[in-house]
Amino acid sequence: MPTRTTASQADVAYAELLHLLIRLDIPPGAPLVESELTERIGVGRTPLRDAIHRLEMQRLVVIHPRRGTFATGVDMGDLALITDVRAELEALAASQAAIRANRADHTVLHRLLGKVEVPGTRKQIDLDTDIHRAVHAASHNHFLASTAGMYHNLAQRLWHLFIDRMPDITSHVEDHRTLLTAVLDGDADSASTAARDHVRRFEQSVAGVV
């Protein structure tokens, strides 16, 4: 079996660490222990450190010289600030996706549209992530997709932090349907509005249980 390159190992380490941080399997403020993570993820120290530096730039980990590396804390005071940025990024991504989405994008978006009624809060969180990533990709602007994805990750940590206290999220299901339909219809204005409203409702849902 061929050996994975350092670059591919770094991608694996990044994806796995991102998953652990977003879902709070590594809680806010917890240390990242290299020896434990290399064994858990199955990569070497160099690709793990590469992944950690990527996540540091995305504000998901913080490196303190001589103290170690830690998952960033969660400050509820940041919710409104993150939302202000996300609302505009997601609106722009949705409008551009409505204009630029190609046949392959439409296939993915149609598939996701068929899943919007999947029950269960955790499944809806996973679906929310898949939908946002698909819309970001369909914008065909990798600068926008990367930045929007970073802020979506920060928001997801907040959602997972309060998941057990979240109210019914039926409105999020309807948001997804409205957003995807607008993108698939090529309606840039409606897609932009749907995305912005969705982000604002997310802020209200989280703020309502704090």
Looking up residue 42, the CATH number of its domain turns out to be 1.10.10.10
Same domain, 177 and 80: yes
In a domain, residue 122? The reply is yes
- Contacts for 51 with CB less than 8 Å, ≥ 6 apart: 10, 13, 14, 17
Same domain, 201 and 103: yes
In a domain, residue 177? The reply is yes
In a domain, residue 113? The reply is yes
Same domain, 80 and 64: no
Rounded CA-CA distance 44/35 in Å is 9
Same domain, 96 and 200: yes
Rounded CA-CA distance 129/90 in Å is 12
Same domain, 20 and 120: no
Q: Which two tokens stand for residue 88?
A: 């505009």
Same domain, 91 and 167: yes
In a domain, residue 1? The reply is no
Domain that holds residue 25: 6-71
- The pLDDT of residue 116: 86
What averages of pLDDT result for each successive group of 10 residues across the chain (210 residues)? Answer: 62 94 94 94 93 95 92 89 96 98 98 80 79 97 97 90 68 86 98 96 79
Same domain, 48 and 90: no
- The pLDDT of residue 122: 64
Same domain, 133 and 55: no
Give tens-digit pLDDT for 157-181: 988 887 777 665 666 778 899 999 9
In a domain, residue 140? The reply is yes
Q: How many domains does the chain have?
A: 2
Q: Where are the beta strands (DSSP E) in 131-206?
A: none
pTM of the predicted protein model: 0.87
